[in-house]
C-alpha cells in the first residue's frame, strides 16, 4: 500500500516567528503555537522545570509528583512522566491544569527544531514526526539570511562545544536550539571570515548582559 504523505503545517513567516520566540524567552507569558490537536510534547518523556515563583502552577500539582531540580537553586523543581512517557497532568487527552500550566510548557515550541536544523532526537519520536511537518514562509532575503544564521549558529555550537566554557553548550537538544536562537545574530554577517576563536568569543559576548 502507498504511504499517505504527511501533511505540512504552515509555521508562519520566519522573521515574525523569530522575533516572537526571542521575546518569549525573555518575558513571562508564552509562545502562540498553532499546535492544533497535537499533544506530542505532553507525551514525550520530558522533565518539566517549574520555578519557585510559579505559585499557581505549584499549587495545582500534587507535591508527590515534584522533586528538586538538580543543579538549580532551592525551590526549583521538576515534574517527571509516567511509564508511557506522559506528563502526569495529561488526562483525558488534554492538559488537566491548562490555565495554570508551567511556564516551560507555555514557551515550548517544536518549530525551534526545523528552524535550527537540530533534531529533537530519536528518543522523542512523536515530536520528531511533528518537527518534519512544519514549513516556514520565507518571503524575503532578510528572512532567508536569518534562517541561515540560526542554522549556522546551531551547527557552530554543536561542532565547537568543547571550545566553550564547560556547560555553556547544553547537552539537551531543546536547550541547544534555544541557545542558537539567542546568539544567531553573531552569524548574520558570516560572510566576513572570522576565526573559530573569534566566533566563540563573540557568541559568549552576545550572551553577556
Ligand atoms: S503540564 Fe500540561 S501542558 Fe505541560 S506537559 Fe503536562 S499536560 Fe502538557
148-184 confidence digits (pLDDT tens): 999 999 999 999 999 999 989 998 898 899 999 999 9
Q: What is the pLDDT of residue 6?
A: 65
Q: Tell me which DSSP letter residue 80 carries.
A: -
Residue 7 to residue 156: CA distance in whole angstroms: 31
Q: What is the DSSP string of 10-62?
A: EEEEHHHHHHHHHHHHHSSS------TT--GGGGS-PPEEE-TT-HHHHHHS-
Span 63-86, average pLDDT: 96
Query: What digits encode the pLDDT tens for the residues 43-56?
Result: 999 999 999 999 99
Residue 1's pLDDT band (boundaries 50, 70, 90)? very low
Q: Ligand 1 test: best mutation among 61, 98, 105, 127, most atoms within 8 Å of CB?
A: 105
SS3 123: coil
Q: Which atom of ligand 1 is nearest to the CA of 94?
A: 7
Cβ of 42 below 6 Å from ligand 1: yes
Q: What is the DSSP string of 94-121?
A: EETTGGG--HHHHH--TTHHHHHT----
Q: Which atom of ligand 1 is nearest to the CA of 88?
A: 6
Which residues face 94 on adjacent strands?
91
Q: What is the pLDDT of residue 111?
A: 95
Q: Tell me which DSSP letter residue 65 carries.
A: G
Q: Count Cβ atoms below 10 Å from residue 167 Cβ, excluding itself.
A: 9
10 Å CB burial of residue 133 (0-12, 13-18, 19+) is: middle
Residue 29's pLDDT band (boundaries 50, 70, 90)? low
- Angle at Cα 177 formed by Cα 76 and Cα 24, nearest 5°? 60
Q: How far is the CA of 115 from the centre of ligand 1 (A)?
A: 23
Cβ of 101 below 6 Å from ligand 1: yes
Q: Indicate if the pLDDT at residue 5 is higher than 80.
A: no
Cβ of 33 below 6 Å from ligand 1: no
- Pair 17, 136: CB distance under 8 Å: yes
Query: What digits encode the pLDDT tens for the residues 188-202?
Result: 976 566 788 899 999
Cβ of 178 below 6 Å from ligand 1: no
Q: Which atom of ligand 1 is nearest to the CA of 98?
A: 2
Residue 138 to residue 206: CA distance in whole angstroms: 25
Dihedrals phi, psi of 141, to nearest 5 degrees: -60, -40
Q: What is the pLDDT of residue 95?
A: 96
Q: What is the pTM of this model?
A: 0.86
Amino acid at each position: 500500500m502507498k504511504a499517505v504523505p504527511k501533511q505540512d503545517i504552515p509555521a508562519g513567516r520566519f522573521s515574525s516567528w523569530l522575533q516572537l520566540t526571542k521575546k518569549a524567552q525573555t518575558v513571562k507569558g508564552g509562545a502562540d503555537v498553532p499546535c492544533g490537536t497535537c499533544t506530542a510534547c505532553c507525551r514525550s518523556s520530558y522533565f518539566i522545570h517549574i520555578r519557585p515563583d510559579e505559585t499557581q502552577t505549584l499549587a495545582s500539582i500534587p507535591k508527590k509528583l515534584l522533586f528538586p531540580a538538580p543543579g538549580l537553586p532551592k525551590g526549583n523543581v521538576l515534574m517527571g512522566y509516567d511509564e508511557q512517557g506522559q506528563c502526569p497532568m495529561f488526562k483525558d487527552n488534554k492538559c488537566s491544569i491548562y490555565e495554570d500550566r508551567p511556564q516551560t510548557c507555555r514557551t515550548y515550541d517544536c518549530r525551534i527544531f526545523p528552524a535550527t536544523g537540530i533534531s529533537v532526537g530519536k528518543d522523542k519520536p512523536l515530536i520528531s514526526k511533528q518537527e518534519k511537518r512544519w514549513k516556514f514562509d520565507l518571503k524575503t532575503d532578510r528572512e532567508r539570511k536569518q534562517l541561515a544564521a540560526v542554522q549556522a549558529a546551531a551547527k557552530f555550537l554543536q561542532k565547537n562545544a568543547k571550545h566553550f566554557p564547560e556547560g555553556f553548550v547544553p547537552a539537551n537538544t531543546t536547550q541547544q536550539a534555544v541557545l542558537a536562537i539567542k546568539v544567531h545574530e553573531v552569524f548574520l554577517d558570516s560572510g566576513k571570515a572570522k576565526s573559530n576563536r573569534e566566533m566563540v568569543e563573540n557568541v559568549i559576548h552576545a550572551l553577556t548582559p
